[in-house]
Chain A
Amino acid sequence: MESALIPIAVFLLVYIALTMELVNKAVAAMLGVMILIALRVVSEHRAVEFIDFETIMLLLGMMSIVAILRKSGFFSIITVKIAEGTKGSPLKILILFSIITATMSAFLDNVTTVLIIIPIIIELTAGMGLDPKLFVISQAVISNIGGTATLIGDPPNIIIGSKAGLTFNQFMLNLSLPVIVGMAATLVFIWATNREKFRPIDTNLAKLFSVQLLLEKIRYNFLDTRIDKIFLAKALICLAVAILLFVTQTITKLSPGVVAMLVAMVLFVITRIEVEEMLVEIEWSTLLFFTGLFILVGVLEDKGIIEWIANNIFMRIGDNPYLLVLTVLWVSGIVSGFLDNIPFTITMIPIVRLMLESTPIPNNILWWALALGACLGGNLTMIGASANIVSVGTAKKMGQEITFLEFARKSVVIALITLAIASGYLMLYLWISL
């Protein structure tokens, strides 16, 4: 265990740097890796073996597809159409935008989704004299809930899918129900606690008039790019092909990472897009962050530290499967609310694997507990998920400052409600499976 002291210390320092945002997260992770290599704790060749290229390929592929889709103007068309469809009704704004946010988050990524949705929802609600903060918080939490439903929706799921060998369809089949119920409960909670703000406006002629003008302003601001229909068609067909290949993964035997990269490369060729221009849109720091974390956790695993944590912390709770599932769900949920859920998930994967070796739990329920906990727990606080941070940052740029407490006042209850729903679902699922 002596040789484990250095990797433990480095890992903890990286975690502290990440949590306190002392340096860029990619730099923190890669610096940790470089220290381990320099101190000869691990060789560079061994370090590379720890990287999960399946996850990196999936992330890179999806980022490329999303970047091209953004350029096509597709997202602007969708959001403006949704804004028009609401006709200024506050309740319709909440429901329709939540549906589109959840769907986009499930099939694309949360950060892109909120980057597109938040400016338009602020423009719409602020222009109507409503409270934009409520809508910003609602869309941030909904994006995290929606992203939980699929393998590609949220980074923890991408990692779990790749490391545990779970397919796109397995994620959809097992997580859609708690996600849909959780989302419905979230919307009911937001509506019930803010009923005054959701009163219909169809008896107020002046407000209806303002909404019509506002929608025109939104069309002007968000739809002024000339849409290249052929480009858009190519991008949409490729997205559809990617989703089809994800769904038929068991038949084609193509992993999600290969599918995403393949489709992204085909898109680059058929759209003849300036590759350099698109590469700027890729979040290289996120990819580097993932790479570094895979190596750091790989070293911990290699040195037997993960096994020690599993045996001495998680295995101590006994072999009651109900208790194990609830522990993984709630520990993941609470920790993800305060720490970045990506390093946490990467750390938890070998632990869950060891737990499954000692107490087999059917139907991958322990993996679903980890996925639900890591994704839904991100809603506990403003810093719990990237989508929350990006939403609050975008709102601030548009003059709507949301404090940590303002966010928490809504999000904590929502996170607890969704985690409670997830608990009920997993308990029922386990009871049926045993």
Chain B
Amino acid sequence: MKSEDKQILCSLIRDHEDAVGSSRVTMLAINAFIESIRQVRCRVENIRDLYSELSLAIKDTEPKVIPLIHLIEEFEQEMNASTAETTDGIKDDAIRILQEKHRKIKTKVGKVIEHGLTCIAEGDVIIVHTLSFDVTNMLKLASEVLQKAFKVIVLKQDLSKTRRLVKSLSASGIDMEIIPEYSLGHHIEQGNKLFMGALSISEDMRVITASGSANVVSLCHLNSLPIYLFANTLKFSHRPSSQQRIHRKVEATTHGDLSFQLIKHSHDTVDLEHVDFLVTEEGIKDKGQIAAFMNGSKSGGEPSLPG
């Protein structure tokens, strides 16, 4: 694969993750993989190499999209076991395996949402910062299906990131207030809990989450606001946070007569110790249970954690 093709692929996954969250981007990437397998024309002797090459590129993105990497690793293993010998046979096997992976993450996300719904109570004022597929859908369901009355304080980041969340919440008629993320100090007393999503949870107990989250979590922690983290177990990484390859971008910026280099990071890292409740597809773990749950996942390789 040409390095420019690799760069394009990497930036597309990063942009998408930034806009729709890691669970959603994982589902989209798997669908894209399936569609590209359907369309590709190649000889039978090359087809497995093509899959391996693409899998390698997907696993090598910056930052690492852990749920996607786990599912692609599973795909590789299962493809190695495939005995198909014709192009169509290999394609059929690949598509079937990927469809299974899509179902797997969808089920896990669905269960996280199901457990998460119990975290929303009547009269809650929930602070939301990160754009997470799980959190957005949970809030929508709580309002539309369960008819719960609650309010959301949306912390505005780049409008491109916040726009979808605001649109979704307003389409569901959820009472909300939008404030700049740096103004949370003025509104902290209004809120009674913080909901956040994550790109991954690393082996050294750090949460890789949206840029700006570290400040928000610190403020909430200082004000004893309970912090809920929604993450299915596919987001648990075997590697430390230093190996999550958080993307660093240096942008030449001009403001009037000022020109400078602006340094941006794609994600923040937050200590898992600051999280009060971890909501996975396996249920809700409180502060006391989180460490044990994470260690159990590590030592046992996580019952549902692959690769």
A→B interface (CB under 8 Å)? 87, 127-129, 202-214, 216-217, 220, 224, 226
Contact = CB atoms under 8 A, between A and B. Distances in A.
B5 A210 contact: yes
A206 B5 contact: yes
A91 to B, nearest CB: 15
Interface of B: 1, 4-6, 8-9, 12-13, 15-16, 19-20, 28-29, 31-33, 35-37, 39-42, 50-51, 53-54, 57, 163-164, 167, 171
Contact of B28 (A129, A205, A210, A213): A213
Contacts of A207: 5
A87 B12 contact: no
Q: Which of B6, B8, B16, B33 has the most CB of A within 10 A?
A: B8
B38 to A, nearest CB: 9
A217 B167 CA distance: 17
B243 to A, nearest CB: 24
Nearest to A211: B36
A210 B58 CA distance: 10
Contacts of B9: 206, 209-210, 213
A223 to B, nearest CB: 12
Contacts of B12: 127, 210, 213-214, 217
A414 B164 CA distance: 42
A10 B248 CA distance: 59
A205 B36 contact: yes
Given A127-B8, A127-B12, A129-B4, A203 B40 contact: yes
Contact of B53 (A206, A208, A220): A206
A206 B57 CA distance: 8
Given A87-B39, A213-B9, 19 more contacts: A127-B8, A129-B8, A202-B39, A202-B40, A202-B41, A205-B36, A205-B40, A205-B50, A205-B51, A205-B53, A206-B53, A207-B5, A212-B32, A213-B12, A216-B32, A217-B15, A220-B20, A224-B163, A224-B167
Contact of B36 (A129, A208, A217): A208
Contacts of B167: 224, 226
Nearest to A216: B28
Contact of A220 (B13, B19, B40): B19
B18 to A, nearest CB: 11
Q: State the main secondary structure of chain A at its contact with B.
A: helix
29 contacts: A87-B39, A129-B8, A202-B39, A203-B40, A203-B41, A203-B42, A204-B5, A205-B36, A205-B40, A205-B42, A205-B53, A206-B1, A206-B57, A207-B5, A208-B36, A208-B39, A209-B9, A209-B29, A211-B36, A212-B31, A213-B9, A213-B16, A214-B12, A217-B12, A217-B16, A217-B19, A220-B16, A220-B19, A226-B167
Nearest to B5: A206
B83 to A, nearest CB: 21
A212 B35 contact: yes
B69 to A, nearest CB: 15
A325 B29 CA distance: 58
Contacts of B1: 206
Contact of A208 (B15, B40, B57): B40
A164 B20 CA distance: 56
A206 B28 CA distance: 15
A201 to B, nearest CB: 9
A203 B164 CA distance: 35
Contacts of A208: 35-36, 39-40
A332 B36 CA distance: 49
Contacts of A213: 9, 12-13, 16, 28-29, 32
Which are the 5 A-B pairs with shortest beta-carbon distances? A212-B32, A208-B36, A209-B36, A205-B50, A213-B12
Q: Which of B8, B9, B36, B41 has the most CB of A within 10 A?
A: B36
Q: Which of A87, A210, A224 has the most CB of B within 10 A?
A: A210
Contacts of B36: 205, 208-209, 211-212
Nearest to A220: B19
A37 to B, nearest CB: 43
A204 B54 CA distance: 10
Contacts of A206: 1, 5-6, 9, 53-54, 57
A79 B273 CA distance: 48
A209 B28 contact: no
Contacts of B4: 129
A185 B167 CA distance: 45
Contacts of A214: 12
A208 B12 CA distance: 13
B164 to A, nearest CB: 7
A128 B19 contact: no
A100 B107 CA distance: 40
Contacts of B57: 206
Nearest to B58: A209
